[in-house]
Structure 1
């Protein structure tokens, strides 16, 4: 996938999708079956585990939505981007597989104040 900005928009839309069935369908479309997601607070593998993680994050921070935090930077099969979640912010690096699906996400938290 050469349009990294669109991929990031789709990625954040998955994290913001509150309907579990719609979220799972979007995950199946965007992520590799064996996706690996790692950040300082979580480490999961597979679409089902990612679906559960996103649902748990939504329960922990009801009403908050992920937004892009700035420029999307990508080359070859990797992209990095910043995001905001209310007062929190961080950045992720995603690696795509040969089919253009996300196979790995490495997340970093830059600002966590205001989240409980």
Structure 2
């Protein structure tokens, strides 16, 4: 049981690190082409860690027979997932319109919401 807890905590902290890294990628890029390349390399890792974090969390709750289960964790996970999907759709739209610089301010707001959600999961 403690092994699953430590694995889950690792994925939660790794997800938080990836959120900060993604925030850095969205705010500090020189040109759109290098940014697009970084994000295409980064996003599969991000979504894999997000899925692993959710999977290990559900396994832990199953081991505890869902005693004291709180829907806050699931709601924050769903919020982070929907915001990530929305950010991806927004990026596709801004890239087609060749306004990648406008994406920076939207990404900053979305990333802060995702970071607050991730930190709230850790503190809950």
TM-score (normalised: structure 2): 0.34
Q: Give the number of the structure whose residues are more often strand, by fraction.
A: 1
- Which of 1 and 2 has higher RCO (CA within 8 Å, sep 6+)? 2
Q: Give the number of the structure whose residues are more often helix, by fraction.
A: 2
